[in-house]
Amino acid sequence: MDQLNLFAEAEETPVPATFAARPQPARTATPTPRPAPAPRPVVAAEEEPGGLFPDPRPELPSVQADIPAPRRIAPLLTGNPRDAGQRLGEAVAETWHASNWGGYRMDIPVSIVGALALFPIKGHTETATRIISNASDFEMLQGYREIYAHTWAHRPDLGDRMAPLMGWLTEQGMEEKAYAVRRVTETALRYGILQLTGDPDPWCRSDTDVMSWTITSLRSMGAKQGLGEYHTPPELCDMMARILLGNEAPPKGERFHEPAGGTGGMFRSLAQALRHLDADPADYVWALNELEPLAAACAAVNAIVWGLGPNVVIACGDTLAQGDLYEQAVRERKHLFEERDEIIGRLAVAEAAQQAMALADRLIGAKAV
């Protein structure tokens, strides 16, 4: 089976290789009806050149096969996106708790929702739904690994913060979880995860915080009280963002700082308010701190889904005990990019050496004949 080249340009890997490897029957895609969005400014959809959301976006691989028609998962999207996000989170929690693995390890269902939200190709939701829902157990699990690896290759700072979402994918006996993982995957697809997060325009991807709804639905009341975790309602975040910004966008380069950010709901509202003011969120610095590692990991997912740009710094620690963690997080971010570049350089040298050896073998073989 072809493996994903983690360090190729995004245009060369528009969809995780495992999900793309299995041929599917061709089918005419029917766009999912969605409410007409409000007039909005045209902003850059990319985080950085060669990022997760390249433009122009590549077409999915052609799919032809003589296998039976796959199951079709029709999304259950009604009402506004925020209500849909809440229903998705509740349905995922119910499915997970009803499975043999329910009741603990909430990192697994949250990881599944996060990976689907990060699915690298945007604008082909029906085709992506068909590919994922008809993958084998091995392809499904491998596909999730590749999505997170692909994310790390392009954004090592945010990928490193997503570590709590990736741990289960490297554990022994991961295949035993396949049944529960598939059930959660199908539920998330049915409740429209790709419709909510798969639009090419980050404006539309920022309609709701699916990560927040998923976490709050999975946590028990006792856990919420113990962590002091109560996510701010999105309507309140929207009102606060409008009050903060007023009628004029702040100068480019200004830093927004959230010392107890959760999954980043306030940043979602600020980004949308900036877009209303014809400003691009990527022109600003976004600094978020969160005590709970899983919530911080979800904030890292959201930073990409919402198109906040390359200037995102997410720290995980106790703001009251440690103070402002921004400078420390900036140093860690710089180190992570340097480490990523070093790994890429070593892999490139190793690949070049292998190619040179193969070429030498061919030349020697030709002379021997």
Q: DSSP string spanning 154-169?
A: H-HHHHHHTHHHHGGG
Q: What is the DSSP code (8-state) at residue 283?
A: G
Instruction: Please report, for the chain, the start and end positions of each structural domain, with discontinuous segments joined by +.
Output: 15-324, 332-369
Question: Can you read off the two tokens belonging to residue 207?
Answer: 């309609």
Give the largest Cα separation in the chain, rounded: 79
The 285-290 sheet, strands edge to edge: 255-258, 285-290, 312-316
Distance CA 365, CA 335 (A): 45
Distance CA 195, CA 192 (A): 5
Percent over 70 (pLDDT), the chain: 73
Place of tokens 């997970």: 96
For residues 119, 123, 125 and 127, what is the CA-based torsion angle, rounded to 10 degrees? Answer: -100
User: Identity (one letter) of the amino acid at 45?
Assistant: A
pLDDT at 284: 96
Q: What pTM was estimated for this model as a whole?
A: 0.76
Instruction: Give pLDDT tens digits for 313-366.
Output: 999 998 778 777 888 899 999 999 999 898 888 887 777 777 777 776 776 666
What are the beta bridge partners of residue 315?
A: 289
pLDDT at 103: 56
Q: Which residue stretches of the chain have pLDDT < 70?
A: 1-72, 74, 76-79, 100-103, 220-230, 360, 363-369
Q: What is the DSSP code (8-state) at residue 69?
A: P
CA 324 to chain centre: 27
Distance CA 327, CA 132 (A): 40
Distance CA 70, CA 134 (A): 6
335 φ/ψ angles, rounded to the nearest 5 degrees: -65, -40
CB atoms within 10 A of CB 272: 21
Which are the contacts of 297, defined by CB distance < 8 A and separation ≥ 6? 110, 114, 161, 162, 163, 164, 165
Distance CA 78, CA 80 (A): 7
Place of tokens 């113990």: 226
Name which of 364, 206, 215 is nearest 296 in CA terms.
215
pLDDT at 356: 77
Which are the contacts of 14, defined by CB distance < 8 A and separation ≥ 6? 54, 57, 58, 59, 60, 120, 121
pLDDT at 193: 96
What are the beta bridge partners of residue 258?
A: 288
